[in-house]
Structure 1
Amino acid sequence: MFDDEKLEEKIEKIYRHHYLEVYRFLVCFSGNQNDAEDLTQEVFIRVLNSFTKKNSISNVKTWIFTIAKHVAIDHYRKKRFSSLFKDGFFKQIASTEKEPNELVEQNELKRLVHLAISKLKPNYRAVVILRGINEFSIKETSEILQCSESKVKVDYHRALKELKKRLHMDVEEVIGNAN
């Protein structure tokens, strides 16, 4: 009984600590808050089901995000939805100091970026969300995506190049520096 209670407390702590980050990642990937809620629940169900099976987890955060990535890709494959990132992708930066025309321009830019990201290949989309939006390190991104750090760098560079083509602008202005 004691071990079960201890395990339950540990899982609850992991859930509280990582829920919001996983949810944000899944909102970015799915573009839909309702889907992200369902997918987040699915991630933590999988975490719960496999937690006792995993004897040594070197980095809980990357393990959970690896599960989240697989859940998101499974969902993407099942639905084959055409429009991603409709709401909630960027942090709302609405300020009372902004002029109405600045807000309209900002919202239009967000819409264009959402659309461009949604048209990227799933692995490019994932690396852009993890590196460019969530600001994970190259190492963390490689662990989550289960690939080499070199592949993360190459995919991120190619994804930004593709976004630049799609947006006809300097992506670094929108997302940040590629390095």
Structure 2
Amino acid sequence: MFAVLADSESWALLEAARRGDRESLAVLYRAHVGEVRRYIQARVPNRHLAEDFTSEVFVRVMRARSVRRQDGKFRGWLITIGRNIVIDHFKSRYNQAEIPVDVLPEDGRFELSAEQLVLRRQLREAVRDGLARLGPDQRECLRLRFLEDRSVAETALLLGRGEAAVRQLQLRAIRKLEGLLAWREIAA
């Protein structure tokens, strides 16, 4: 087990590492790698991915050109980098759900496999759970906009808000729901 470094020591080691001091980088890595790895492992489905992301955190730390060095906050900065890597991974993973055209039947109809049915049910449950964790205004906004397919103007009228307020409410609701879904292990 390695000693916990004060944030000021970590910032100083980072500066030395950026000037080429390999020992400073090694000390910095050993002091923080466990905490970063634990944070990431709690959020991704497998150990190998967590190790890759942990390494990526330290690569990004060394590549960062401008960092507002705040008193304290070094560990928070590392965790924020790790969090962003995990979020980016889940965003890209959900956007990659594609079905090659050559595997679709020519009549356009196809049956889902048992695995696909289970995954669809899990996704539906995750969305339902996520919606339940939103505030009532956010939940109602998403219901009106996406389930009832109403315009921003109609939603604003029904909620008794301005259009800009509805857009902001929708954005916040989507981001919160996205964050809630990103932490669940759902296959795309």
Common fold by TM > 0.5: no
TM-score, scaled to structure 2:
0.38
The higher radius of gyration belongs to 2
What's the TM-score once normalised by structure 1's chain length? 0.40
